[in-house]
A = this chain, B = another copy of it.
Amino acid sequence: MKAVDKHAKIIAAATKVFAKKGFFNARISDIAKEAKVADGTIYLYFNNKIDILLSVFEEEIGAIITHTRKLLDEEQDPRKKLEIFIVKHLTAMKKNKYLAEVIQIELRQTTKLVKEYRNSKFNEYINIIAEIIEQGQKQEFFRQDIMPNLAKRTIFGALDEVSRVWNTSLETHYSVDEASCQIIKLFVSGILIDVESSSP
């Protein structure tokens, strides 16, 4: 087996274990067992436990960013782009629930664990939303009085919380379509400059 494969195997195992147990309750031996390697092997590929978490985060988010950008490049209309982002995010989270957990739960712990870490990938990801909004404002599809940096948080937070529920099984489970549709309705109709309503 190549080094790349083992690295990937550990990442996958860690994603699963962190999601199931949370970072602190996850033992290195859990990850090792899940990845079918020895405990020590993990330290050939990662510096320490937190390094695994950050790697999981960076790599998985990185893959989503790449894929999302490709989808967005095929579309010009910012209104459609926003829809695509929302659908893509929810789809990705529904598909990889382990990842969803890691992003949601561990994202909030990271700050406490490594002060210097800046979540560059995460910022890159949510800035996609800001870019879409800015483009929409330039093309006068979106209201000028919306602040892109606040709106990106609002939208990401909404998506994040909705997909969180998918993992807790405490409530009615909505399909990706349902959820996307609802969230798009809430946001797009709001963010969109309503031409008709402004006319007399």
The residues of A with any CB-CB pair to B shorter than 8 Å are 20-25, 104-105, 108-109, 111-113, 118, 143, 145-147, 149-151, 153-162, 164-165, 168, 170-172, 174, 178-179, 182-183, 185-191, 194, 196-197
Q: Is the CB of B182 within 8 A of A151?
A: yes
By beta carbon, the residue of chain B nearest A20 is B112
**Assembly CA distance A153 to B170 (angstroms):** 13
Number of this chain's copies in the complex: 4
Known: A105-B112, A150-B178. 15 other contacts (CB 8 A): A20-B112, A25-B112, A104-B108, A143-B185, A149-B171, A150-B162, A150-B182, A153-B162, A154-B158, A154-B162, A157-B161, A157-B162, A158-B158, A185-B190, A194-B194
CB distance from A6 to the nearest CB of B (A): 19
Q: Is the CB of A109 within 8 A of B105?
A: yes
* A22-B109, A109-B105, A161-B153 known; A190+B186 contact, CB < 8 A: yes
By beta carbon, the residue of chain B nearest A190 is B190
Among the listed B154, B186, B188, B194, which residue makes an inter-chain contact with A197, where contact means beta carbons less than 8 Å apart? B194
**Assembly CA distance A194 to B192 (angstroms):** 13
Among the listed B24, B108, B190, which residue makes an inter-chain contact with A189, where contact means beta carbons less than 8 Å apart? B190
